[in-house]
Amino acid sequence: MIRVAIVGSTGYTGAELVRLLSHHREVEIVALTSQSYVDQPYEKVYPSLTDHVGLTCQAQNVEALMADVDAVFLALPHGLSVPWAQEAYRQGKKVIDLGADFRFRQVQTYESWYKTKHEAPELLGQAVYGLPELNRDKIRKSVIVANPGCYPTASILGLAPLLKNKLVNPQKIIIDAKSGISGAGRSAKLGSLYGEVNENVKAYGVATHRHTPEIEQEAAALLGLAPEDITLSFTPHLMPMTRGILATIYCDLQENLSITATEVRQIYKDFYGGEPFIHITEENQWPETKWCYGSNYVFIGLTIDERTKRLIVTTAIDNLVKGAAGQAIQNMNLLFDLPETEGIDRPGIWP
């Protein structure tokens, strides 16, 4: 059995890790840490997991905890993962970081967008960006996996076949994305209150959202370019729902390119052929967030607007599963040479 710890286990992402891992046939959860609920039984924090997790929340003692595990999941705010990653690297343990601290290959990008000094830039070269559909072989050989952000997961998976096949102008990409409120975390905030969110839709982080450079970095890599060689527009919106992300991506086809939506759809099917979690929808079938609610699945639909010659792609994921905890487990399965779908192959919940 793989012995794992979840650091930051009482946030929404941590709780989703606990829910999924509690039924993983090859995993034993040996430690759950929390800053707010130390010494409280986990099932008292999340009664929905009563009789599934017999652990008590413990303090975050890096060295003691790391010595007793094979892998650690870090479900922490940015800037807090470095001590854990350093100790895991020192002890030869695997780490899957669900925060932003190891997602960027250039430390200047991280420090500029997150306004935080990176305390271990030497480890960035040891980290692999954990999007299995693109980096599967690298993930298997890694020690530190940087789990992608939720918006970047939806956006990059929607863009990858287009960029890899150089079908669109990389300087004219617009991503309009909507997310459920759970993406804001469990902490009490004015903007997350029911009265603020219910019956309301709002844009936020307009032209400044921190997931923008992450999407640009991976888009540039698909094109064989440096991150600074691509600039795209990304605008997120908050929706009055609990889970889900729907990203609609607008791209200008390369000049003088003659191609049909049917041909592009086949390119997507070929690119993602054999991928266990990706579904390409048929013509005029558009993804909905409800289709993947509670699951690790991704739905991608597309068409070409013949009037504007613009290619439109829509991607739906669950922000807490494929956008966070499910993808982290997918990465853990790769790290330990397990079936990639182990523990996360459940269908979505409907309605």
CB 326 within 8 A of CB 17: no
CA-CA distance, 224 to 235, in Å (whole number)?
A: 25
Q: Looking at residue 20, what DSSP letter applies?
A: H
- C-alpha to C-alpha distances, 184 to 108, 160, 194, 204, 290, nearest whole angstrom: 25, 26, 13, 12, 19
Measured distance between the N- and C-terminal CA atoms of the chain, rounded to whole angstroms:
35
Alpha helix ranges (H) inside 243-308: 261-271
Nearest to 127 by CA among 118, 20, 285, 312: 118
Nearest to 150 by CA among 285, 342, 16: 16
Q: Which of 57, 150, 251, 292 is catalytic?
A: 150
Structure tokens given for 52: 């599934």
CA-CA distance, 351 to 349, in Å (whole number)?
A: 6
SS3 234: strand
Active site residue 251: no
Catalytic residue IDs: 150
